[in-house]
Structure 1
Amino acid sequence: MNRALGLVAALLLAGTAFAHPGSAHEIVMGDLQIIHANIPAPAGRAQVAAGYMAISNEGDHPDSLIGVEVGFAAKAMLHTTDFSAEGVASMKHVQALEIPANDTVVLEPGGYHIMLMGLTQPLIVGDMLPATLIFEQAGRVQIEFMVDPADGSVDHSTMDHSSMGHGTPAPTAAADAEIGALLKAQFDTAETPLTVAPITVQGNVAIAGWAQGGRGGRAFLRQDDKGWFVELCSGASLMLPATLQSLGLSAPQAGALLASAKAAEAALAPETIALFDSFDGTMIIGRNGH
């Protein structure tokens, strides 16, 4: 495959664009060409984002992307997005992504992507963020992710934030602050302080992990015309599509919320996730409190 075809492949990246007219934003290392590595700008104080690019292999032998290192997130992992027959999205960790000889692989929304978890700084449109791609044959390749404008495609910090519920969604940062304050106002005490994180907001619904005095769980929250309220608290069962659908979410909405919540929790220690899962049963709370 010649370089012109490699550049055409980059245009297949859904919702992305070259930042500088006439500039391909590409890195060439031996037979590999990394084309427009980019991150759609996440909303507000989001802790997760996704990286996309096209990788062209002009050599006669395959190579594999086996790792990613960044300095602006706690963890970077290669993921793929799977959709069930019911349209429920789920993310799956991939150990290696093969780049066949004389071919181009596109990392794009809804397919392979680099999951960036635990962002350590704001990602501002136009930023160029250094990173390292690790290939089985080519070794370490230095690149820069360009932060592109958010464009309405699948963004791992927001997934689907326009159709869940019937009110006007609050901005993510404001919703995070309101939800954290709400939970602490209801449950925090001097003897057993409450910690709330991560908070995953999708329009008018949210999932928040919490820990208090050696116990933990997850809260499902909803926003109405009076603001946010805790609808119920649960554990592992809250991370099931059937549970969210029983609360009135459609299958795609449930899948989007769960994919985003799982991505946020992926940056946590296993013992923290186990603590969230340990809440036994379901406590119905509702607008008027339990």
Structure 2
Amino acid sequence: MSIDIRRPWARMQTAESGDAAGFVTLTNRGPEPDRLVAAATPLAARTEIWGIKVVGAELRMRRLESGLHLPRDMAIELKPRGYHLFFQGLAKPLARGQKVPVTLTFASSEPRQIELIVEAEGPINKDTLGRPQEVQAG
């Protein structure tokens, strides 16, 4: 597989929200650029790929309609205050330590099944918590 996947994790949603965010670092090891075009989990009604742009003191979130560009040999990190998987309409709150199954779909590479480990709740501008975990390309 041409996409290396590192540090898959998710952040618990706040009590008032039925949404959560997922994060991972993707490195395209293939011969050509690729694109993350979709993501899905059975735990949410909808999963979308989003980006956040910081403009002064304001955050602007937007859905990446055409997915996320993955240049060759460059790590693209989905992280708080940046690109992320946006899980909407969760049937029940995520729990710390829970594994969230996610299917990542790429324009050129094979789809990948990964598990995100749920970490503590927190706003998007806080440092990540927990220890890194890696999923090696197969």
Which TM-score bucket, shorter chain as reference? 0.7 to 0.9
Taking the aligned partners of 1:96 and 1:154, their CA distance within structure 2 comes to 21
Taking the aligned partners of 1:57 and 1:90, their CA distance within structure 2 comes to 27
TM-score, normalization: structure 1? Answer: 0.41
Deviation at 1:84, TM superposition (A): 2.3
Q: Name the SS for the 2:111 alignment partner.
A: strand
1:112 is matched with which residue? 83
1:91 and 2:34 correspond: no
State the structure with more CA Rg. 1
2:8 is matched with which residue? 37
Give the partner amino acid of 2:62: K
Task: Say if 1:73 and 1:134 are closer, same or farther in 2 by CA, change over 3 A.
Answer: same
Q: RMSD of the TM alignment (CA)?
A: 1.8
| Residues 142-198 of structure 1: CA deviation (Å, up to 9, x unaligned) | 111111123x4417xxx9xxxxxxxxxxxxxxxxxxxxxxxxxxxxxxxxxxxxxxx
Taking the aligned partners of 2:71 and 2:109, their CA distance within structure 1 comes to 13
Q: Could you list the runs of 5+ residues in structure 1 that have no partner in the other structure?
A: 1-29, 160-290
Give structure 1 regions of 4+ aligned residues with deviation exceeding 3 angstroms. none
> Relative contact order (C-alpha < 8 Å, sep 6+): which is higher?
2
1:131 and 2:102 correspond: yes
1:74 and 2:45 correspond: yes
Identity of aligned pairs, percent?
26
More strand by share: 2
Taking the aligned partners of 2:111 and 2:31, their CA distance within structure 1 comes to 19
1:64 is matched with which residue? 35
| Residues 226-267 of structure 1: CA deviation (Å, up to 9, x unaligned) | xxxxxxxxxxxxxxxxxxxxxxxxxxxxxxxxxxxxxxxxxx
Matched residue count: 125
Taking the aligned partners of 2:4 and 2:92, their CA distance within structure 1 comes to 28
- Conserved 8 A contact 1:60-1:102: no
Deviation at 1:117, TM superposition (A): 0.8
Give the counterpart of 2:24 among 28, 53, 58. Answer: 53
2:131 is matched with which residue? none
Q: Could you list the runs of 5+ residues in structure 2 that have no partner in the other structure?
A: 127-138
